[in-house]
Amino acid sequence: MSGYSHPYWLEIPALKGSLDQPRDAEIIVIGSGLSGVSTVYWLQEKGYTDILLVDYEAENAASFRNCGHILYGTVESMQALTALHGEEIARKLWALSIDICHEVRDTILRHKIEAQYKQDGYLVIAIDESEEREIQQSIALLNKNGFGSEYVSREKLEKMGFRNVHGARFEPGSAQAHPTLFRNGLLEVCLKRGLRYHSGVKVTAVDEVRDRVRLTTIPWGDLSCDAAVIAANAYSPLLSDFFAKHRLVEPFRGQLITSKPLKNHKFPVRYPHSFDHGYEYAIITEDNRLMIGGWRNRTEGGEIGIYDIGVNPLVEQGLKDFVETYYALSEEVEWEFSWSGIMAASKTGFPFIGPTDSQRIFTCSGYTGHGFSWAHGSAKILADIINGDPVPDIIREKCNPRYFQ
């Protein structure tokens, strides 16, 4: 297998910053994935100009190791979200997620970013009867609250190229894009506006010292700023005791495999789709490859608490077997790429957006596997918070990192 542990998305290399010594700045953003670059973008939209972006081993970021899904909703189904929080809160959260997804679309259109963006929908497929019942209940709740969603029968799914499945929910508003192209394109916009970007900067601590923030780095020693944003997602606990002390986010390893281009088989469903409560998720790439990830829930420990991006052969084989079981393919699949990424499970199931235990140190992290959907729009909300602008009450209630200490 070629490309072992190398993401398909990084066939297009991630842009990197200068290797020269960085200088102090008004605001320093740590992490150059979707959260970090988006935070810079929205702060520049607010008029901030003295911004430094730093990263370390950017190619290992989860931003380049996902499945390209930009999904309405949260990690929970509408039925589960309603059961956990009540119908009114669930409705507000779902509506917020739609606005956040549209921020990605609107930014791509505004700057003409070539990111292979398609708003072609999302299919949630049940693999057992209990999941099908949950899907039907979610459809009823979504339609009741004005969100478009429809049921897809087992018979129709079989015509779409699936097998051994039950019913499904189709939602037309979700989208897909190439994460590296989107991040690179957005970064180029920021650089043209004057962003200073430095790679190879390993931040080991972020602390408030009197009226400034101090970043302890390797190899450049201390950096100083008025405010810092920790946009390192799963790696945030390695930078600040705040995350570790309150266990706000926990790392988990998400794994994907991607086939060689299929020569003869044409997939009727090329848009994002998932199975088994979202634990398996897939798309078809521009060059007709099947990309599928997940299966960690079938492993001992669920791949939780791991920072090793090495590939787990048991998960890899499980994904291959899953394809054999649930896809009706007309040709044999040859697998070319296999890789893992470290995602961040949030303590609450929602991202954390706002100040930590310091009014000068902020975060935008904890996407629980929905980072492409939430990162760009969450960064916009963070920029509002930093600038002192109003934000939705639901953000203060469900996404405030201080509230969950």
Domain residue ranges of the chain, discontinuous segments joined by +: 12-66+180-248+348-398
Span 291-320, pLDDT tens digits: 999 999 899 888 999 999 999 999 999 999
Mean pLDDT over 251-258 rounds to 95
Q: What is the mean pLDDT of the chain?
A: 94
Q: What is the predicted pLDDT for the residue at 369?
A: 84
387-392: long-range contacts, CB 8 A cutoff, minimum separation 24: 387/43, 387/46, 392/92, 392/96
Distance CA 210, CA 360 (A): 11
Task: Please state the pTM of the whole predicted model.
Answer: 0.95
pLDDT recorded at residue 340 = 95
pLDDT band of 404, cuts 50, 70, 90? low
pLDDT given at position 4: 59
Q: How confident is the model at residue 3 (pLDDT cuts 50, 70, 90)?
A: very low
132 has pLDDT over 70: yes
How much is the pLDDT for 402?
75
Say yes or no to pLDDT of 80 above 80: yes
pLDDT score of 276: 95
How many angstroms separate the Cα of 221 from the Cα of each of 96, 262, 291, 297, 398? 40, 50, 41, 41, 36
* Residue 256 phi, psi dihedral angles, 5° rounding: -135, 155
Tokens standing for residue 281:
């998720």
Mean pLDDT score, 50-72: 95
The class (CATH top level) of 12-66+180-248+348-398 is alpha beta
Q: What is the pLDDT averaged over residues 86-111?
A: 96
User: Is 60 exceeded by the pLDDT of residue 2?
Assistant: no
**What per-residue confidence (pLDDT) applies to 370?**
87
Which pLDDT tens digit goes with each residue over 169-191? 999 999 999 999 999 999 999 99
Does 127 have pLDDT greater than 70?
yes
> What band does 403 get if pLDDT is binned at 50, 70 and 90?
low
State pLDDT tens for residues 115-126: 999 999 999 999
State yes or no: pLDDT of 1 exceeds 60. Answer: no
Secondary element (H or E) of residue 68: none
Residues 6+ apart with CB under 8 A from 115: 108, 177, 178, 181, 182, 185
* 195: number of Cβ within 10 Å: 23
What integer is the mean pLDDT of 123-152? 96
For the residues 81-93, what does the mean pLDDT come to? Answer: 94
pLDDT of residue 100: 94
- Check residue 371 and give its pLDDT: 87
In whole angstroms, what is the distance from residue 101 CA to residue 377 CA? 7
Percent of the chain whose predicted confidence (pLDDT) is above 90: 87
> In this predicted model, what pLDDT tens digit does every residue of 202-250 receive, in sequence order?
999 999 999 999 999 999 999 999 999 999 999 999 999 898 888 889 9
Q: Span 349-376, mean pLDDT?
A: 92
Say whether pLDDT at 277 is over 70: yes
Strands 290-294 and 25-30 turn out to be unpaired
